[in-house]
Amino acid sequence: MSGAMIRIEDVVKRYGAFTAVDGVSLEVPPGEIHGFLGPNGAGKTTTIRMIAGLLKPTSGRIAIDTFDLATEPVRAKQALGFIPDRPFLYEKLTAAEFLRFHGGLYAMEEKAIAQRAARLLEMFELTRWEGELIESFSHGMKQRLTLAAAFLHRPRAVLVDEPMVGLDPRGARLIKDVFRRMSAEGVAILMSTHTLEVAQEMCDRISIILGGKIIARGTVPELRAQAGGEDEHLTPVFLKLTGGGGFQEIDEGP
């Protein structure tokens, strides 16, 4: 697919003798919400961190909006919005100051930052708190502020690592709505999550990673077919594909 917003080609990441990501290839076209699933330690976060430009791949190529991350990192990152699983926020800044700084990092003009920040603070229900120090925010508020920062510069591709952790149902609903709206506007979203209901509800396509390799890819019905079952929900499909039978062990006494 030539018009992919996020494109990963045969990416490998080795830590000494251990291969964390083993030849992963992936494409997310504009407007698609792509789920990135896998059990703990499968290589999801390593892949996400390589796409965000935080880790150097051992080999392979990553491009954002056709810009190669290795040769044109500034232009590639300019097109990307990144929402990490453990976001860093300057605790002694206010929400408005943080957004202003974030906009500056993405080389936005002051006036554009002010207009866009006001709009996003309202969208993420943070307008009341814009003058408060981030250290006084709850987890959900910090999560929403991170999302506002990621969308501030109007990215054409968004990378999300575990967006729903610690959010209440209202916050989760809000984020789902925002992702859908962004996707409708043509933003490509690559979302890593453990919440299979969210993936099933929101993602157009899903890639499942296990042992550093993509073992399945497709829409939910396609994955269901690959797993060879008739299950309506994604959870049993995921468990069949990733061999997660050991989940019951904790309930079974000696």
Partner 1 sequence: MTTTIARPFPWLLTPVFLGVRNRARRRETGDGLRLAVFAGLGFFVAAALFAIVFWLSYKLDQYEELGDYLVRLGLSWLFLTFLSFLAFSALVTSLTTFFLSEDLRLLVAAPLDPDRLFYSRFAKAAAQAGWMVVAFLVPVLLGLGLSRCAGPLFYLVLPLTLLPFVLIPTALGALVTLVLVSTFPARRARDLLMLMGLLFAVALVLLLRVVQPERLLRVEALPDVTGFFATLQSPVTPFFPSFWAGELLFSALQGRIDELHLGALWTTALALVVLTRLAYGRHYFSAWSKAQEARKARFTRLRLLDGLALFLPVSAPSRQLLVKDLKVFLRDTAQWSQLLLLVALAVVYVYNFKVLDLDRIPYMSRVVRNAYAFVNLAMAAFVLSAVSVRFVFPAVSAEGPAFWIVRSAPVSMRSFLWSKFWTGLVPVLLLSTALTVASNEILGIAPFLKVVCGLAIVLMSFALVALAAAMGARHPRFSAENLTQVAGSYGGVAFMVLAVLFILVEIALLGWPSSIYLWSDYNRIPLTAVRLATMALCFAAAIALALYVFLHSMRDGVRALEDLG
At closest approach, how far in Å is the CB of 84 from partner 1?
A: 7
Pairing of β 33-37 and β 205-210:
parallel
In angstroms, what is the minimal distance from the CB of 113 to partner 1?
9
Q: Which residues have CB under 8 Å from 49's CB, separation 6+?
A: 55
x-marked contacts with partner 1 along 116-145 as a string, rule CB under 8 A = -----------------x------------
Closest C-alpha to 149, from 184, 106, 187, 92: 106
Exactly one of 3, 10, 41, 56 binds partner 1 (CB under 8 A); that residue is 56
Binding residues for partner 1, total number by CB under 8 A = 34
* Tally of CB atoms within 10 A around 113: 20
Using the rule CB under 8 A, which residue among 8, 21, 26, 52 binds partner 1?
Answer: 52
**Cβ proximity of 192 and 203 under 8 Å:** no
254 binds partner 1 (CB under 8 A): no
Q: How far apart are CA 122 and CA 126, in angstroms?
A: 6
Task: Single out the residue of 197, 148, 194 nearest to residue 174, CA to CA.
Answer: 148
Selected from 7, 44, 144, 153, the binder of partner 1 by CB under 8 A is 153
In the bound complex, what is the minimum distance in angstroms from residue 80's beta carbon to partner 1?
A: 8
Question: Using the rule CB under 8 A, which residue among 6, 38, 43, 82 binds partner 1?
Answer: 82
**Contact status: 184 vs partner 1 (CB under 8 A):** no
DSSP one-letter code for 31: T
Give the tokens for residue 249.
Answer: 């062990």
Tell me how crowded residue 200 is: count the other CB atoms within 10 A of its CB.
18
- If one asks whether residue 26 binds partner 1 (CB under 8 A), the answer comes out as no
Give the binding site for partner 1 (CB under 8 A).
Answer: 15, 49, 52-56, 73-78, 82, 84, 87-88, 90, 92-94, 97, 101-102, 104-109, 112, 133, 153-154
